[in-house]
Amino acid sequence: MPPRLIDSLTTTAPLAEIFSDESILQALLDFEAALARAEERAGVIPRGAAQAIESAAVATNFDCAPLAAEFLRAGTPGIPMVQALTAKVRAAHAEAARFVHWGATSQDAADTALVLLLKRVRPVFAADLARLEKALAALSEKHRNSVMLGRTLLQAAPPVTFGLKAAGWLAAVRRCRMRLESAFTESLILQFGGASGTLAALGDKGLEVGHAMARDLGLAFPDAPWHAHRDRLAALLAASGVLTGCLAKMARDLALLMQGEVAEIAEPVGAGRGGSSTMPQKRNPIASAVALAAATRVPGLVASFLTGMIQEHERGVGGWQAEWRTVAEVMQATGLALASMAEVAEGLDVNVAQMRENIAATKGAVFAERVSMLLAESLGREQAHKIVQDAVRRGELQRRKLGDVLAENPDVTRLIDPATLRNLDSPESYLGVAEELRKRLLAGSESQSDSQDKRK
């Protein structure tokens, strides 16, 4: 389903559907149907009751609008949902209606429903992560020799390669993906504890029913109910926040490289994408802006979840009631940033010629470190630094190349041969171990990913 207008810059269509009213209600109803099936198999409720409950537990059988109002009055979605489901079952099978929600509590339904929604989010994230990683790996390989300015504190610095920069983005994304996968695995667990978390209402059948429900819903079964222990969900939201931050770092780099004065890369264009309402010439970093907006929102949302972890005794008051919206917003913001950066990486326009021009425009000043190191071997660091600094300033004032200015200084020409000065501003000759580092980033992140896959 398409997102609402107010949510249009905060989610994607698949994630909007997952957290839609009908999807949320169906997740609640799926819990109730699984509970009934498990209890019937365990002999807790009579035969035939589960089928009646399951038949009624379909979201399209209910009107979400009045239910939402009742959720607010009840302080939980569980109570009104159970009442509505019971009424629906009673209309078709009066006896079965007695066994709706048998032995469970409203938070069991609410928490498990949330987990079922997260289970649907996981493959959406995985697909976009795979797209992004594949595209970044291709960019890194294609541009392993594409030299560009390094930039420190937003100022020009000695050259790097675009391949190395892309490898840095990729390695960070892969690290984030591994954290996220681990957090998803830990979070996708059934919540089933009954009133106080002991399943006392089911006697000695509690664990049997719980295990059966978990298998039915495709969830793990925890050692005990986790009503007031929200650490697993907190870890998932924190991992999502770190991923969003990594994506936003990439987005910030891209937006800066897209500036007209830099013009080294450009986001892919399409119908209605990247234009301006008043300036036809513009090609705006829209996907980067969306990812940066997500990263602006997510840290506060994660912090609010962490604050809500302080829950009282066996079932808290106020903490978990705050979570649904927070979790939904974090998942949707993270997913939007991820989908946006995957789209960018797949269609990024890299202007290699402009990258070289921007290096040349510094007139060799970004190679000052190189000359300083050559001179320092004989003159010492401080004297070498002063000579080169003076030459850089003179070159800036006279708009001359650093190598030409240095060639007029006998202290320099005595120690550095003319050929070295002439080729001072060759970026390929001052890349250090950039290519080795690029390969290490790619190989290291791949090996970590393989190790995690083997542990699954």
Residues noted as catalytic: 276, 315
Burial track 287-314 (b if 16+ CB lie within 10 A, e otherwise): bbbbbbbbbebbeebbebbeebbebeee
**Rounded distance between C-alpha atoms, residue 314 and residue 4, angstroms:** 37
Q: Cβ distance 148 to 164 under 8 Å? A: no
The candidate with the shortest Cα–Cα distance to 10, out of 339, 448, 250, is 339
R_g over Cα of the chain: 30
Q: Looking at this protein, which amino acid is placed at residue 130?
A: A
With tokens 């664990």, the residue in question is 207
Q: How many CB atoms lie within 10 A of CB 259?
A: 10
Strands (E) across 101-242 are located at 147-152, 155-161
Query: How many CA atoms lie within 13 Å of 2's alpha carbon, on the beta-carbon side?
Result: 4
> Which token pair is 69?
């109002």
The candidate with the shortest Cα–Cα distance to 62, out of 34, 24, 31, is 24
Helix, coil or strand: residue 150: strand
**Rounded distance between C-alpha atoms, residue 199 and residue 195, angstroms:** 7
The candidate with the shortest Cα–Cα distance to 29, out of 3, 47, 2, 55, is 55
Q: Residue 331 phi/psi, 5° resolution? A: -60, -40
Helix, coil or strand: residue 456: coil
Q: Cβ distance 266 to 347 under 8 Å? A: no
